[in-house]
Amino acid sequence: MSTPTTHRRFPLLETAPAAISLALVAGLLNAWTLGAVGTFSTVQSGNLVSIGYFLADSDHPRAWSAAASVLAFALGAFLCSLYVLWRGREQRPYSAEVLIFEVGVLAVLAAVNWSPGANPWWIAWAISFIAGVQGNAFHRETGMLYGNVAVTFVLQMAASLTGRAVGSGIDDDGQPHIRPAAAYFLVLVAFAGGGGIGFALDALWDGSSIVAAVMALIVLFVAAATVRGAVDPAQNAPTP
């Protein structure tokens, strides 16, 4: 059976559906870490503000815990950037490998979460590490930053592009506005939806938000491993 060939303008992991899927995963992971320990897995601005808040409140253990989440995310992004550079030098794709790595680690974390006496902080830090890996590997959608790592930027761009479309009669730059704005808005909906779905799932069965993230990543992995054509984002480097 031949592998299906898909004709795309952009690499698979740089398309809007992939960005929306990854934003959904990010929302699911944030749901678990926020519900379990009160930190964010991908929204590091929230963790940084939390550090300042807890320091001002003299709650140093919580401040250090939030700082550890930031460092775990940074470590994941750092190590992933080295891996991406190495695969680039070898002229080999990396997307499927990174995705299956995420699947494996998150599956282990879900199992650990159900073990008696599991420490939720270590699980949260490991999830932040995975979020850093994912953010570094798949940080763009058709050349645009997306909600995997930069929700505030996505919201700003969605509103800005909508404003430029509405104000085209004032000064039209000739660039498309509605379609990219819609992509940004869908990413935001997916991110928020992932959070809401994750909270609802965890209320039924603790840790099921992690399982849902694993399932979404498996779908992306299968697509990345079987579809012919460009798969890796064209920007094979960390965000400038």
Whether residue 208 has pLDDT greater than 90: yes
> How sure is the predictor about 149, in pLDDT bands with cuts at 50, 70 and 90?
low
Domain boundaries, the chain: 12-225
Given a contact cutoff of 8 angstroms between Cβ atoms, the answer to whether 149 and 132 are in contact is: no
How confident is the model over 111-140, as a mean pLDDT?
92
Given a contact cutoff of 8 angstroms between Cβ atoms, the answer to whether 232 and 93 are in contact is: yes
What is the structure's pLDDT at 138? Answer: 85
pTM of the model as a whole: 0.89
How confident is the model over 42-56, as a mean pLDDT?
90
Single-letter code of the amino acid located at 156: Q
d(C-alpha 85, C-alpha 218), whole Å: 24
Q: What is the CA radius of gyration of the chain?
A: 19
Weakest-pLDDT range from 29-33, 132-136, 150-154, 156-160: 150-154
What tens digit of pLDDT does each residue of 151-183 get?
A: 888 888 889 989 989 988 888 888 888 888 898
Fold for the domain defined by 12-225: Growth Hormone; Chain: A; (1.20.1250)
Mean pLDDT of the chain: 88
What is the structure's pLDDT at 238? Answer: 41
What is the structure's pLDDT at 154? Answer: 85
Weakest-pLDDT range from 25-39, 96-110, 146-160: 146-160
How confident is the model over 125-147, as a mean pLDDT?
81
d(C-alpha 82, C-alpha 118), whole Å: 31
Q: What are all long-range contacts of 195-201, with beta carbons under 8 Å and residues at least 24 apart?
A: 195/27, 195/28, 195/30, 195/31, 195/34, 196/27, 196/31, 197/27, 197/28, 197/31, 198/27, 198/28, 198/29, 198/30, 198/31, 198/32, 198/35, 199/31, 199/35, 201/31
What is the structure's pLDDT at 222? Answer: 97
What is the structure's pLDDT at 177? Answer: 86
Q: Report the candidate in 179, 133, 141 with the shortest Cα–Cα distance to residue 19.
A: 141
What percent of the chain is predicted at pLDDT more than 70?
90
What is the structure's pLDDT at 235? Answer: 56
The one-character DSSP state at 7 is -
Q: Which run of H or E residues covers position 141?
A: strand 140-141
Q: Which run of H or E residues covers position 140?
A: strand 140-141
Whether residue 211 has pLDDT greater than 80: yes
Given a contact cutoff of 8 angstroms between Cβ atoms, the answer to whether 31 and 195 are in contact is: yes
